[in-house]
Structures are given as structure tokens and as C-alpha cells.
Amino acid sequence: MKFKVFAKINLSLNVLTLEQEGYHMLDAVNQSISMYDTVTVMPRADKLCKVFCDKDIGVINTALTAANRFVKTFDTNGYDIYLEKGIPMAGGLGGSSADAAGVLAALSKLNGISLDEAGKIADDVGSDVKYMMTGGLARVGGRGEKVQSVECDSVLYFVIATPPFGMSTQRVFQQFDFSPDFTKTDNDKLIQAVLNEDVAAVKLNLYNGLQQAAFSVDDRLKKFFDKLKKFGFVSMSGSGSSMFFVCADKFESGFLLKQLEKEKIKAFCVESKNYGIEYI
């Protein structure tokens, strides 16, 4: 069984609280994009789960955690899981959460278990996993467990720019607690702008409350941001390190991509997706 699992960007990320019992309360607008990992799942005859990946994702990872939780919760046999990474790692694009969501979706389909049932263990695997199981345009609250999907047929175009280094989510949130930024954007206006495909209004309402904390953690990210903003309005996704531009159409995104490539900046043209997982 094989799935594409799509990356996400945070069109907004309002941080509402300092750390509380290991988490921060958030109010974010997430959007799936056409960048993806591929997840392939093969049943085993025993109870073991193993993950094989074309990149080094570590011995302990969310895909493996998701599989082990599923086997324990629903008393199934184990699985071999193969990951092909197309989503940059440690880039704030939800790659590890997407892989876990893909595993849960695949195992649900193999065992005739509803996504709603599998979704009950998603929060124990990772904060973004529940959202990644549905994807699309959504308002995400709490520590990520409150997902309000928004029906949306609009298409937006983005250019994702990635520096040659990643960011530690834990360190960025620790820095946020040391120097918090409780500035908030209006997520209702932002969602309406997306629905209207109003690019100017989308740009006006973008905001990431972790951006300044991320700059403080690694000044290379601030230098990368300063270099990018010469090409237009740019915002950070998640806790970094990826940045994104919102474009009016494919022509503008393609033109911007060529400009960035001339500056030796690694970048990708993507568009919005109204779902998070696609069965192949």
C-alpha cells in the first residue's frame, strides 16, 4: 500500500501561551502544499515494525511511533514501512508528521479501521499528525489537536525557499518562552482571503509568532530571510527553517524561482492542495 503525504505551510502561527506542561497553545492556519513524501507499507508475519528511509531520519521517528501505537491499539501484526523523502527535513513543513499520518492512513485502510478511530492515537504521536491526516486548509488550535477543516476549492501558488540547515523546534520554543511574541494576526480574515484567492489580502494577514525566536536561535536564518525579502514579502513556516512567498499565479512563481536559483538559493514551486494524503 502506497501513499503520497503532503507537506504543509503555516500561513499563520499565533502563539497564545508560554509553555504549559510541555506544550504551547496555538491558533494557526495550515495549508497543504504539493510537495510530498511517499509512504509504502508492507504487512509482516510478526508484531515488529521497521522503518526504512532514503534519508537519515534517526532510529526513533514519528513513522515508527505511529506504527507501534497502531499495532498495540488495534492488536494487528507488524509492518515494514518505506519512506521516500521529498519534504525537506527540519524545515517547518511537517515532513515527520506527514509520514506518521501516512502510516496511520495506510494501516487503517489495510485493517478496515476508520480514519476517525486511527486519529484518536494521532495526538500521542505528534502535534501536527491529526491535521496531516486530513490536510487542506484548516484552522488548528490547542497544541494541534483541535483541527477545524475549511472546505476550499481555491488554488494558491507558493515558492518555498530552504537554507542549507534546519532548525530545532524545541530550541525555538524555548527561545520564545525567554522572549515571547504574542502578536496575533486575524485568522478569520486570513481564511477568507484564501477562499477568495485574494493574494494581496493573504500577504497582509500572514504572521508567524515564532519567527523572531527562530532568528535569535540561529542568526543564519535572519541573514537568509534578509536575502529573500529583496524578492518580495516572505514568511517563515512552523519553527523554520523554510520560508515561503505567496504568488499570484504559476507564471509569477516560476519567474521568482528562476531569480532565486540565480542567487544559488534552493527553492521549489508548489501549489495548495485541498487534502493531505493521496492513495497511489
Quick: pLDDT tens for 178-210.
999 999 999 999 999 999 999 999 999 999 999
The CATH superfamily holding the domain 157-271 is GHMP kinase, C-terminal domain (3.30.70.890)
- Which residues are bridge partners to 82 per DSSP? 40, 52
Cα 53 to Cα 26, 42, 61, 78, 165, distances in angstroms: 31, 14, 11, 17, 20
Q: Stretch 106-119: mean pLDDT, rounded?
A: 93
Taking the C-alpha atoms of residue 8 and residue 28, their distance in angstroms, rounded to an integer, is 12
pLDDT one-digit tens code per residue, 28-45: 999 999 999 999 999 999
Q: Can you give the pLDDT at residue 195? A: 98
pLDDT one-digit tens code per residue, 164-182: 999 999 999 999 999 999 9
Cβ proximity of 63 and 51 under 8 Å: yes
Spell out where the chain has E strands.
2-15, 26-43, 49-53, 79-84, 137-142, 146-150, 157-162, 207-208, 235-236, 243-247, 266-273, 277-279
Query: What is the identity of the amino acid at 165?
Result: F
Q: Give the pairing type, strands 49-53 and 79-84.
A: parallel
Cβ proximity of 97 and 49 under 8 Å: no
Q: Which of 35, 26, 32 is nearest to 208 (CA)?
A: 26
Is 118 exposed, middle or buried, given 0-12, 13-18 or 19+ CB atoms closer than 10 A?
buried
Please, which pLDDT band fits residue 263 given cuts at 50, 70 and 90? Answer: very high
* pLDDT higher than threshold 90 for residue 242: yes
Query: What is the identity of the amino acid at 2?
Result: K
Please, which pLDDT band fits residue 65 given cuts at 50, 70 and 90? Answer: very high
Q: Can you give the pLDDT at residue 123? A: 87
In CATH, which of 3.40.50.720, 3.20.20.70, 3.30.230.10, 3.40.50.800 is domain 2-150?
3.30.230.10
Active-site residue among 27, 99, 128, 218? Answer: 128
Please, which pLDDT band fits residue 254 given cuts at 50, 70 and 90? Answer: very high
- When the pLDDT of each residue in the chain is averaged and rounded to a whole number, the result is 96
8 catalytic? Reply is: yes
218 catalytic? Reply is: no
- Which residues are bridge partners to 229 per DSSP? none
Q: Can you give the pLDDT at residue 34? A: 98
* pLDDT higher than threshold 90 for residue 1: no
Locate the domains of the chain by residue range. 2-150, 157-271
Q: Can you give the pLDDT at residue 58? A: 86
Taking the C-alpha atoms of residue 171 and residue 189, their distance in angstroms, rounded to an integer, is 31
Taking the C-alpha atoms of residue 211 and residue 221, their distance in angstroms, rounded to an integer, is 9
* pLDDT higher than threshold 90 for residue 104: yes
Cβ proximity of 137 and 27 under 8 Å: no
Distance of CA 280 to the CA centre of its chain: 21
Taking the C-alpha atoms of residue 219 and residue 210, their distance in angstroms, rounded to an integer, is 14
Cβ proximity of 12 and 187 under 8 Å: yes
